[in-house]
Amino acid sequence: MTPSASPASCVPAEAVGAAAPALVLAGQSVRQLAQAAAAEGIPALALDAFGDRDTRAAARWQAWRGFDAGNLLDALHEAARAGAAGWIAGSGFEAHPGLLAAAAERLPLLGTAPDGWRRVRDPRRFFPLLDDLGLPHPDTRWDGPPADSSDWLVKDGAGCGGVHVRPAAGVGAAPGPTAFWQRRVAGTPMSVAFVADGRRALLLGVNEQLAGAPHAPFAWAGAVGPLPVAGALHERLDAALQRLVPACGLRGLASLDFMLRPGGGVALLEVNPRPGGTLQLYAPQSPLALHLRGCRGEGGLPARPRPQPVMGLRVLYAPRALHLSADTLRRLARRAWVHDLPLTPTGIGAGEPVCSLGATAPRADAVHALLRRRHAELIELLEDTVDELAC
């Protein structure tokens, strides 16, 4: 049941040493990856749609929008000619498995191989696999909604970020070839951050997921972690990872989303076979170095994660249509805990992400409180901007 490692899913150990060539980071947004590379002294080329201030400060940036195949393949070809060690796939490739595979032929893909992505992102393969492994998940179906869909959700296996999740009532026929229906589960949305080497996983931490945006109640809005969890829950999650990793050939940084049920039970939701939105929460772990160690598949993962404080990330969604002027951007950029800011003045539609904000504290409740205060501070700043424009 364990897939063999693809040559495109790992890189020779000597290629990622101190004198490693640049890595290529590609995805919808690669800011967190770019900053991790810069912090760990790894020169990188960043390909994404935003080119925010932090990304351009951390890496050489090249615009890449709409997952244009030609642009990506050309960039990887040039990087290979220049001696790059490989490339890391970020968010958005869930909907482009063919492009992921084609790109892995141009330059080694540092992470889970394309077939591993298909195993965990295709609901017709993933949920039967969970059943085979004896792992719990919500009731799931893909042959149409149940007669009474009031307590069900419809999801897209090719989606990411939660914006594709919506109540199933009234949806009717499948909205796309990768759509599936899943029963709602009461509890707290959580995730596990881990690194894998194709055979075993190192559980880095458990995070509470934040969700909700205007007009998108299930949209990902951030996370807080790592959290202290009961020993029994930690063991249950670790056991799930040790079964999933060899079954799917998972390599490098990845995450497992689940619902923590009242009473301590879990229901597994999905695996993201790539560095995810909680990457910056694990900056003290040198996550990119861990990712590369996992990709080499040499059994060189640490025995346990390093101790670290609790950290948080929250996305700020625009309460209404906004124009971010140069002055507003400067005021936002003065706060070191603000990230993902546009480089130049721009318009932001109602409900669209404006930026993200971070926080660090010894305990999770203090991180939550700090995120709330900082979020309110930025909302007030943006409201003042709207008032100034009205005048």
- Boundary (domain end) residue, out of 69, 97, 114: 114
pLDDT at 11: 44
- What would the 3-class secondary structure string for 79-115 be? HHHCCCCEEEECCCHHHCHHHHHHHHHHCCECCCCHH
pLDDT at 332: 97
Q: Is residue 125 one of the residues assigned to a domain?
A: no
Instruction: Establish if 1 belongs to a structural domain.
Output: no
Question: What total of structural domains would you count in the chain?
Answer: 4
- Structure token digits, residue 207: 């995070």
Q: What is the pLDDT of residue 299?
A: 67
* pLDDT for the residue numbered 177: 81
Instruction: Look at phi and psi of residue 247 and say left if phi exceeds 0, alpha if psi is from -120 to 50, else beta.
Output: alpha
Q: Is the pLDDT of residue 140 over 50?
A: yes
Rounded Cα distance between 293 and 197, Å, is: 7
Q: Are residues 257 and 235 in the same domain?
A: yes
Q: What is the CATH number of the domain that holds 293?
A: 3.30.470.20
Q: Please name which of 154, 190, 188 lies closest in space to residue 171, comparing C-alpha atoms.
A: 154
With respect to residue 336, please indicate whether it lies within any of the assigned structural domains: yes
Does residue 128 form part of some domain?
Answer: no
64 lies in some domain: yes
Please indicate, yes or no, whether residues 155 and 267 belong to a single structural domain of this protein: no
Full domain range(s) for residue 146: 139-184
Poorest-pLDDT segment among 156-165, 196-205, 328-337 = 156-165
Whether 93 and 61 map to the same domain: the answer is: yes
Q: How confident is the model at residue 388 (pLDDT cuts 50, 70, 90)?
A: very low
- Report the pLDDT value the prediction gives residue 13, as an integer from 0 to 100: 38
Domain co-membership, 43 together with 107:
yes
121, part of any domain: no
What's 288-322 look like in SS3? HHHHHHHHHCCCCCCCCCCCCCEEEEEEEECCCCE
Q: Is the pLDDT of residue 21 over 80?
A: no
Q: Which of 56, 49, 72, 59 is nearest to 22 (CA)?
A: 59
State both tokens at 267.
Answer: 């229901």
Last-in-domain residue among 273, 308, 343: 308
Domain contains 314: yes
- How far, rounded to the nearest angstrom, does the alpha carbon of residue 362 sit from its chain's CA centroid? 24
Q: Is residue 133 part of a domain?
A: no
Greater confidence (16 vs 262) lies with 262
- Do 157 and 121 touch, CB atoms closer than 8 A? yes
CA distance 37 to 34: 5
Same domain, yes or no: 196 and 250: yes
**135 near 288, Cβ under 8 Å?**
no
- Are 190 and 259 in contact by the 8 Å Cβ rule? The answer is yes
pLDDT value of position 384: 79
Q: Are residues 79 and 45 in the same domain?
A: yes
Which pLDDT score, from 0 to 100, does residue 3 have? 35
Q: What is the pLDDT of residues 164-185, one digit of tens each?
A: 898 988 776 667 788 899 999 9
Helix axes 97-106 and 69-81, enclosed angle (nearest 10):
20
| pLDDT value at residue 146 | 86
Predicted confidence (pLDDT) at residue 7 exceeds the cutoff of 50: no
Mean pLDDT within 219-232:
96
pTM for the model stands at 0.92
Strand order in the sheet with 140-141: 140-141, 179-183, 152-156, 166-167
Looking at the predicted structure, is the pLDDT value of residue 152 above 80? yes
Listed in sequence order, the residues at least 6 apart from 88 whose beta carbon sits closer than 8 Å to its beta carbon are 23, 24, 25, 26, 33, 109, 110, 111, 252, 274, 275, 291
Domain match, 65 and 15 both:
yes
Res 231 pLDDT > 70:
yes
Paired strand residues for 222: 210, 314
pLDDT of 216: 87
What is the DSSP pairing of strand 322-324 with strand 166-167?
A: unpaired
* Final residue belonging to a domain, choices 155, 184, 213: 184
Amino acid letter, 81: R
Rounded distance between C-alpha atoms, residue 285 and residue 256, angstroms: 18
DSSP lists the bridge partners of residue 311 as 225, 360
Q: Is residue 282 located within the same domain as residue 349? A: no
Q: How confident is the model at residue 373 (pLDDT cuts 50, 70, 90)?
A: very high
Q: pLDDT tens-digit profile of 42-97?
A: 999 999 999 999 999 999 999 999 999 999 999 999 999 999 999 999 999 999 99
374: confidence class by pLDDT, cuts 50, 70, 90: very high
pLDDT higher than 50, residue 14: no
- The CATH number of the domain holding residue 67 is 3.40.50.20
114-121 vs 97-106: helix crossing angle, rounded to 10? 160
Q: What is the rounded average pLDDT for all residues in the chain?
A: 91
Q: Which of 83, 121, 110, 98 is nearest to 26 (CA)?
A: 110
pLDDT value of position 350: 93
Q: Assign 147 a pLDDT band (cuts: 50, 70, 90).
A: confident
Q: What is the pLDDT of residues 248-294, one digit of tens each?
A: 999 999 999 999 999 999 999 999 999 999 999 999 999 999 999 99
Q: Is the pLDDT of residue 321 over 70?
A: yes
Same domain? 218 vs 283: yes
Cis previous bond, 177, omega within 30? no
**Smallest Cα–Cα separation from 192: which of 247, 235, 128, 134?**
235
Tokens 């949209």, located at residue: 219
Please give the Cα distance from 280 to 360 (Å, whole number): 11
Q: Do 190 and 304 share a domain, yes or no?
A: yes
Answer yes or no: do 203 and 180 share one domain. Answer: no
- Same domain (yes/no): 108, 152: no
